[in-house]
Every structure is written in C-alpha cells, then in structure tokens.
Amino acid sequence: MTADRSRVFDPNALPIALGQSDPDMLISFYEIFITHTRSGCRSILQAASKSHWESVVSSSHSLKSSCSSIGAFALSKKFEQLEMSARNMETTELMSIAEEMSDIADLTLAEIIDHVIFLESEIIS
C-alpha cells in the first residue's frame, strides 16, 4: 500500500489539541513524537517477527493514541490494525500490516520533519 504523502499528516491537529500554536512548543512535541515513533516502529517490527503478540499490542496501542493527537491519522489507523491483528494472533496479516506501517511511518515522519523545518523558519523570520 502506498500512502498519499499529502494526506498522512495534518499540521492543524496538534495546535488544536494543545489549544495553542507556540512554534517552540509544537517543535518540542514533534521532536518527541519523531523519536518515540521511530523507536516504537522498530520495536513493533522486532516483536512481530518473533510473534510477541503482547508487545505488538502494547506498542501499537500507545503509538495509535499519540499519532491521533499529533495529526498522523493514516499511521494511527495502521497501528489500530496492527493492534487488532496481534490480539487475534494473525501472523500473516500482521506482517503485511507491519510492512505497510513502516512505509506510512516513513512518509509521515518525513512530512512532520518538513513541518518542523517550516516552523523553525517562522521563528527565525
């Protein structure tokens, strides 16, 4: 599955969730999200390859929630699918979804990084 890059991240979601649009605060949240998501995706892929269902469920659930708050709705949906697949111990489906998750995560994180660069340029100007 190929995600449409223009639809994987909504830059308005986090300012709405926080009730403010301070660029420094947004950048901090985005940077934490990027680090947490990269680490979480690696953990999920490792756990999935070893059929560690509870680890996949736990990590997917946590990342699903943070993705929704940050505006990464396509990635949130993929984590929800991973969570359900792991709960049902569907190995073949889970590995397919995990590969899709990895692709969507790459696109989403790239788009968020682009947005952080934009926010940083707004601070400077």
CATH of the domain at 40: 1.20.120
Range of the domain at 63: 22-124
User: How many independent structural domains does the chain possess?
Assistant: 1
Residues of the chain below pLDDT 70 = 1-6
pLDDT tens digits, 87-120: 998 888 898 999 999 999 999 999 999 999 999 9
User: Is residue 10 assigned to a domain?
Assistant: no
Q: Quick one: pLDDT at residue 6? A: 57
DSSP state of 52: -
Q: Which two tokens stand for residue 81?
A: 């699918």
User: Is residue 65 assigned to a domain?
Assistant: yes
DSSP state of 1: -
User: Is residue 12 assigned to a domain?
Assistant: no
Alpha helices (runs of H) in the chain, residue ranges in sequence order? 13-18, 23-49, 53-70, 73-87, 91-124
From the list 36, 44, 102, the residue with the least C-alpha distance to 75 is 102
Q: Quick one: pLDDT at residue 91? A: 83
Q: Quick one: pLDDT at residue 67? A: 97
User: Is residue 16 assigned to a domain?
Assistant: no
Dmax (CA) of the chain: 52
Q: Quick one: pLDDT at residue 3? A: 44
Q: Which residues of 12-38 are buried (b: 16+ CB within 10 A; e: fewer)?
A: ebbbeeeeeeeeeebbebbeebbeebe
Q: Are the C-beta atoms of residues 71 and 13 closer than 8 Å to each other? A: yes
Q: Quick one: pLDDT at residue 90? A: 84
Q: Quick one: pLDDT at residue 5? A: 46
**How far apart are alpha carbons 58 and 122 in whole angstroms?**
37
